[in-house]
Amino acid sequence: MPVAEGKSVQQTVELLTRKLEVLGAEKQGTFCVDCETYHTAASTLGSQGQSGKLMYVMHNSEYPLSCFALFENGPCLIADTNFDVLMVKLKGFFQSAKASKIETRGTRYQYCDFLVKVGTVTMGPSARGISVEVEYGPCVVASDCWSLLLEFLQSFLGSHTPGAPAVFGNRHDTVYGPADTMVQYMELFNKIRKQQQVPVAGIR
Amino acid sequence: MEAPPVTMMPVTGGTINMMEYLLQGSVLDHSLESLIHRLRGLCDNMEPETFLDHEMVFLLKGQQASPFVLRARRSMDRAGAPWHLRYLGQPEVGDKNRHALVRNCVDIATSENLTDFLMEMGFRMDHEFVAKGHLFRKGIMKIMVYKIFRILVPGSTDSTEALSLSYLVELSVVAPAGQDMVSDDMRNFAEQLKPLVHLEKIDPKRLM
């Protein structure tokens, strides 16, 4: 069950990873989560009389054979990688906003039942923020382990620990799934996209 | 624990284009048994497989004259099977020597909220039907013998009515583009099914 949050600066990634290694986490390779944005082309809007919607197509290296497509506040579709081929065919109806492709890449750590991924969020050539994802493997229901997760987060994030993600909302007791992780990443990427670029000099 | 797979590169372009090669025919209800019998003999030795699928066809209308068509299919008898989304392109023209109908095809397995998602994208359902029949395989060739049922109450698959007194027979292969010998193999197989059923290349446009 993951939690993702954005922080301040790039060098903080090293501070975080060093803290995790001191705690005893084992490095286990790398990860990547990326997101492309599509919007409905002007030609399809006329007949429907509604404002253009944004569709996000995301990939997560944790699920290499899948492709996630979601609308903000809408359904999240989990499909296989041929969905990307379909998006190419739908070029006339959905236009890709190339400039807003955003991704996070970094290292994957395993600490007992926790899986921690610390990544640098980049948009094009520039680094825009940091993402931290923590997954507690054994549990699939959010409300059952939120306090445990919070305690673990506090041990290495200190004052930057976030509150409960909006994704849980009124669904605390339902089974958590990969689609919920992707919704959180989408919200994180949107937040980072809206932020001004952070100056490099800020270190805590 | 071993190291997991390394960073995944997003798929951008340059994927292999798959083509569907298709031959179709039909048999009247009373000839079904003899056809199944012959197919069981000719095809790969496996348990006879039946299927019951519900297919919905969605259209996205844009400024272009022809709407974009997507087919969403779900299995009604296999619980837990993913939904199947299929895009079929225009049939390739030219080459009269090619024995089968060839069109670009993209197949995607998806989660169950496919219809909600398609509606959100702007697609609207054009029509739906239920297909019930048998499935056979011979190498990469797939032979389907099925009956189409019209759905009387939209949205409910309980009340259906057979569309005709016959079964549709389809011989299809999905293969990468450029493999034209596939249609020769299909024609050779179709020859073996004569005179029970005549499988031929049927151009959908001629039917409109």
pLDDT tens digits, residue range B50-83? 999 999 999 998 777 788 999 999 999 888 899 9
User: Between these two residues, B168 and A3, which has the higher pLDDT value?
Assistant: B168
Is B173 strand, coil or helix? strand
CA distance A159 to chain B (A): 30
To which residue do tokens 């219809």 refer?
B115
Task: Give the pLDDT score at B157.
Answer: 80
Q: A61–B7: do the CB atoms touch at under 8 Å?
A: yes
- pTM of the full predicted structure? 0.81
User: Between these two residues, A9 and A86, which has the higher pLDDT value?
Assistant: A86
Task: Give the pLDDT score at A121.
Answer: 86
Q: Residue A98: is it exposed, middle or buried by C-beta count within 10 angstroms (0-12/13-18/19+)?
A: exposed
Q: Report the CATH superfamily, name and number, of domain B17-204.
A: Hypothetical Protein Pfu-838710-001 (2.40.320.10)
Average of pLDDT values for A128-146? 80
CA distance A148 to chain B (A): 24
Closest CB to B10 among A43, A59, A85: A59
| CB distance A98 to A43 below 8 Å | no
A139-150 pLDDT, tens per residue? 777 777 778 888
Mutate to test the interface with A, among B58, B90, B117 (most CBs of A within 10 A): B117
CA distance A89 to chain B (A): 9
3-state secondary structure A115-159: EEEEEEEEECCEEEEEEEEEEECCCCEHHHHHHHHHHHHHHHHHH
Residue B174 forms contact with A (CB below 8 Å): no
Q: Which two tokens stand for residue A197?
A: 């670029």
Closest CA to B144 of B117, B165, B173: B173
Q: A30–B121: do the CB atoms touch at under 8 Å?
A: no
Closest CA to B71 of B100, B110, B16: B110
> How many angstroms from the chain centroid is the CA of residue A176?
15
Residue B4 forms contact with A (CB below 8 Å): yes
Q: Residue B176: is it exposed, middle or buried by C-beta count within 10 angstroms (0-12/13-18/19+)?
A: exposed
Is the pLDDT score of A77 beyond 70? yes
Domain boundaries, chain B: 17-204
Average of pLDDT values for A17-40? 87
Bond preceding residue B195 cis, omega within 30 of 0 = yes
Q: B111–A31: do the CB atoms touch at under 8 Å?
A: no
Task: Give the pLDDT score at B165.
Answer: 92
CA distance B111 to chain A (A): 5
How far apart CA A118 and CA B191 sit, in angstroms, is 61
How far apart CA A120 and CA A26 sit, in angstroms, is 19
Cβ under 8 Å to A: B residues 38-97:
60-64, 68, 85, 87, 89
Q: Are strands B160-162 and B141-151 parallel, antiparallel or unpaired?
A: antiparallel
Q: How confident is the model at residue A171 (pLDDT cuts 50, 70, 90)?
A: low
Residue of B nearest to A57 (CA): B10
> How many angstroms from the chain centroid is the CA of residue A17?
18
| CB distance A67 to A83 below 8 Å | yes
Is the pLDDT score of A191 beyond 90? no
Task: Give the pLDDT score at B148.
Answer: 94
CA distance A29 to chain B (A): 6
How far apart CA B27 and CA A141 sit, in angstroms, is 53
Q: B11–A75: do the CB atoms touch at under 8 Å?
A: no
* Total Cβ atoms within 10 A of residue A63: 14
Is B125 strand, coil or helix? strand
To which residue do tokens 């890709």 refer?
A96
Amino acid letter, A186: M
Is A174 strand, coil or helix? coil
> How many angstroms from the chain centroid is the CA of residue A112?
22
How many residue pairs from chains A and B have C-beta atoms closer than 8 A?
A: 108
Task: Give the pLDDT score at A39.
Answer: 85
Domain boundaries, chain A: 9-31+103-194, 32-96
Mutate to test the interface with B, among A47, A93, A104 (most CBs of B within 10 A): A93
If residue A184 lies in a helix (H) or strand (E), which one and from where to where? Answer: helix A178-194
Choosing among 1.10.3470, 2.30.30, 2.60.120, 3.40.50, the CATH entry for A32-96 is: 2.30.30
A41 contacts in B (CB within 8 Å)? 62
Task: Give the pLDDT score at B144.
Answer: 93
Is the pLDDT score of A133 beyond 90? no
With residues binned 3-state (H G I as helix, E B as strand, rest as coil), the percentages for chain A, rounded to 5, are: 35, 35, 30
| CB distance A122 to B89 below 8 Å | no
Q: Name the class of domain A9-31+103-194.
A: alpha beta
Q: A77–B63: do the CB atoms touch at under 8 Å?
A: no
- DSSP annotation of B200 reads B
User: Alpha-carbon Rg of chain B, whole angstroms?
Assistant: 19
CA distance B175 to chain A (A): 15
Lowest mean pLDDT among A32-36, A180-184, B73-77: A180-184
Closest CB to A77 among B8, B107, B110: B110
Task: Give the pLDDT score at A58.
Answer: 93
| CB distance B51 to B36 below 8 Å | no
Closest CA to B174 of B125, B130, B139, B128: B139
Instruction: Please enumerate in sequence order all residues whose Cβ is within 8 A of that of B70, keeping only pairs 6 or more positions apart, or say none.
Output: B57, B58, B60, B85, B86, B87, B118, B123
CA distance B13 to chain A (A): 8
Residue B208 forms contact with A (CB below 8 Å): no
Residue of A nearest to B11 (CA): A84
Q: A29–B13: do the CB atoms touch at under 8 Å?
A: no
Average of pLDDT values for A107-125? 87
* Total Cβ atoms within 10 A of residue A14: 10
Q: What are the distances in angstroms from CA A104 to CA A66, A79, A91, A107?
A: 17, 21, 25, 10
Residue of B nearest to A43 (CA): B63
Residue B14 forms contact with A (CB below 8 Å): no
Task: Give the pLDDT score at A116.
Answer: 87
DSSP string covering B39-62: HHHHS-S---EEEEEEEEEEEE--
* Total Cβ atoms within 10 A of residue B95: 10
Residue B106 forms contact with A (CB below 8 Å): yes
Average of pLDDT values for A133-156? 80
How far apart CA A129 and CA A122 sit, in angstroms, is 7
User: Between these two residues, A132 and B11, which has the higher pLDDT value?
Assistant: A132
Residues of chain B with pLDDT under 50: 1-14
